[in-house]
Structure 1
């Protein structure tokens, strides 16, 4: 006999996991995770443009984002180094406080530089925000994964996505409002406070119950082993190389398509007001709805089925832009394409992040999740971003978006085969294998 999810009791059962303390913690962690990205993204671009900095110099600031892909090289420190003094509070809590303080200091430093007077100092300040933000991400991801119980990975990832979007958008909006009244220095100093939610969460909840400290390292050889150990453990698993291949290719088609939406809208003659309403407005709410659906679907469908559905939806969403390109200027068509794409991305972001979280070994959560998250975006940022414009010029928009749909197929097929052959389960980390923690609402 199946549960009646349409009844009030069924609805409450779906909502209740979002109100558990671990899921609420994931929300506040996500808020703090999202704001450094906004500080060196659109917010800094606006500041530089208003200070009269030329476009070539502004684009050079994208190097600050490269740091997020390099975080895997120092993530082992978060797993393997016990901080003096603060370390008595627990490894994760102490690193959260240190990383949060570093982010606040880096943002304050960026607030105090004058781009018009010293662009070099501004570049350095932006890179420092990137380094501090990436380190904060390492700690936040590890804390979130180790705080959430296995059955909470879906809803917790959803709440984290909610927090990230609200934190990045909120910090960006606050910076614009404050800068218009009190200047950019005050704006950045106000936004530095967005690091506080994660720090406060760590202080309130304390050290994650599921955190497992690796063995103590004493000699040089043991320190070296602590660096390569997390990666060695991952690649010794059955099917690990196929899992890594999936991580690398699963978003190639989606990334190629996402890089070009604004180009399509411009060539179809959409105005800035239309883009603001349909792309930004509809897209934002569709994304939030997709996040909620993803959390519920992960809980109800399980990991493998929910991830496979996400991959299919993200592939199909590219077809909607092929249809828009063929139809031409259409507000309804744009709303439909953007709405479907963002809902699929919100849904996929939850369940895929939950899967990536479950791949981690609880002894090496920080290092392994840094490897996974960096690998998931590196191909899209370096391999596909440089080819999108040339492909559009050679093929046209319709055929281009059809190509991106085809490029998404290998990821779908690979994950389906991994699920059928048992490799999804065989390569799972201890973060997703703890059967002692069950869903009390199941």
Structure 2
């Protein structure tokens, strides 16, 4: 009977650890700018009467997030004068972000669309750069048993920031302050995040930066591809969450168009229950990972991710039922949160501290390949070929190759648990 309280105390100690706790605020800082340059900015432009063609052009603002690996070597090579290599870059980018978001708040889409778009590009660039520094910092500062908890708190902070700069910002702008003052308020929140960077500790054993920029560019690739089974490890990164990505790529369309739920029902369930389940899954995954190890967590959570897709299959063959739909969405998001915590811990463990900014940026970009270039284009074709029930059954099968690759690399993954911070 005493095991559960002991487990709870251990989880509380893990999440309040001096190295782990700041990641909640730093994850929040990482997530805050994204909606301000995407959904919230598009909503502002729509309300201001900007043409649909121009609004479509604004979607290009976020290109920096997919290209951040190009300048990540600079952040591995050079160290700002304050707070060390990782925290120093976080400090620089957060101050620039506060200034850039405030600059956006002093313009309007109706009167100055091009200058506003350029300011948004600057904010997206600084935000992507902050992500590079933050991911590298988390990789460098955490001990091996803290990686899951660190990933979980980062995800939680990021999601909360998306709520603040996405949904909450729309309400504030529409009902209280107006758009410009809302962006100025978000800039103040961004500036306050500097305190978290200042409070966060330095890594206990910071690695020396690469001696030259050429080494910072080529070293991460040589180091990674010098490992045994490097190519199949990359395949594991692409495939581990692929079944989850396929199932999620058309889930909203399926629930509204095929299953007959209203947009309000789907939106409410996704925003409230889906977000809550993802957060619980990530936190639970981080705590379990510290207890059972990385390999067993990845295998267990990967199996749960695959099986959870069957919830949508049940919805596709059952009469319309909001509780059933909520159960399917909640289960899928819970298991997805578990898998995300373990997956981020895996990517963190695969990074060498000397090149963690570049390697994490490259591996995280690679992890998006399946979601962007496979699930997006192929899912509609599969639905047309197999129907919705068949599609969701196939997504379970799509998860299998990633699990087989994980089993194939079980010795290497288990070895990551033996490596310190």
Question: How would you bin the TM-score normalised by the shorter chain?
Answer: over 0.9
122-131 or 278-287, which deviates more: 122-131
Alignment: residue pair count: 419
Distance 1:239 1:423, change over 3 A: farther
Q: Separation in 2 of the partners of 1:44 and 1:71?
A: 21
Who is 1:357 aligned against?
A: 348
SS at match of 2:124: helix
Deviation at 1:357, TM superposition (A): 0.6
Match of 2:398 in 1: 407
CA displacement at 1:4 relative to structure 2:
4.4
Deviations 1:151-177 (A, max 9, x none): 111111111111111111122234123
Native 8 Å contact 2:294 2:413 kept in 1: no
**Equivalence for 2:308:** 317
Alignment partner, residue 212 of structure 1? 207
| CA distance in 1: counterparts of 2:295 and 2:10, whole angstroms | 22
Task: Show the counterpart of 1:5.
Answer: 3
SS in 1 for 2:180: helix
Match among 234, 239, 251 for residue 229 of structure 2: 239
Q: How does 1:238-317 map to 2 (within 5 A)?
A: 238-267=228-257, 268-317=259-308
1:31 aligned onto 2:23: no
Report which stretch shifted further, 19-28 or 276-285: 276-285
Given the alignment, which residue of 109, 124, 134 partners 1:130?
124
- Specify which of 72, 97, 110 is matched with residue 69 of structure 2: 72
CA distance in structure 2 between the partners assigned to 1:201 and 1:213 by the alignment: 24
CA distance in 2: counterparts of 1:343 and 1:150, whole angstroms: 24
Task: Return the alpha-carbon distance in structure 2 between the equivalents of residues 296 and 89 of structure 1.
Answer: 29
1:121 aligns with 2:111: no
Q: Distance in 2 between matches of 1:254 and 1:10?
A: 29
Q: CA deviation at 1:51?
A: 2.1
Provide the rounded CA distance (Å) in 2 between the counterparts of 1:185 and 1:170.
16
| Aligned match of 2:412 | 423
Deviations 1:250-274 (A, max 9, x none): 2222222212111112112212332
| Aligned-partner Cα distance in 1 for 2:42–2:308 | 29
- C-alpha change, 1:56 and 1:328, in structure 2 (3 Å) is farther
TM-score, normalisation: structure 1: 0.89
1:179 shift after superposition: 0.9
Which residue is 1:53 aligned to? Answer: 50
- Secondary structure of the equivalent of 1:363? helix
State the partner residue of 1:203: 198
Whole-Å separation in 1 of the counterparts to 2:34 and 2:395? 27
- Report deviation, 1:61: 3.0
> How far, CA to CA, are the matches of 1:369 and 1:384 in structure 2?
22
Q: Tell me whether 296-305 or 226-235 shows the greater mean CA deviation.
A: 226-235
Give distance in 1, aligned partners of 2:251 and 2:52. Answer: 21
Superposed CA deviations along residues 358-388 of structure 1, whole A, max 9, x for unmatched, are: 1111111111111111111133113331233
Quick one: which of 5, 13, 18 aligns to 1:21?
18
1:54/1:255 Cα in 2 relative to 1: closer, same or farther (>3 Å)? farther
Q: 1:398 to 1:125 in 2, by over 3 A?
A: farther
Unaligned runs of 5+ in 2: none
Closer/same/farther in 2, CA of residues 98 and 433 from structure 1, 3 Å limit: farther
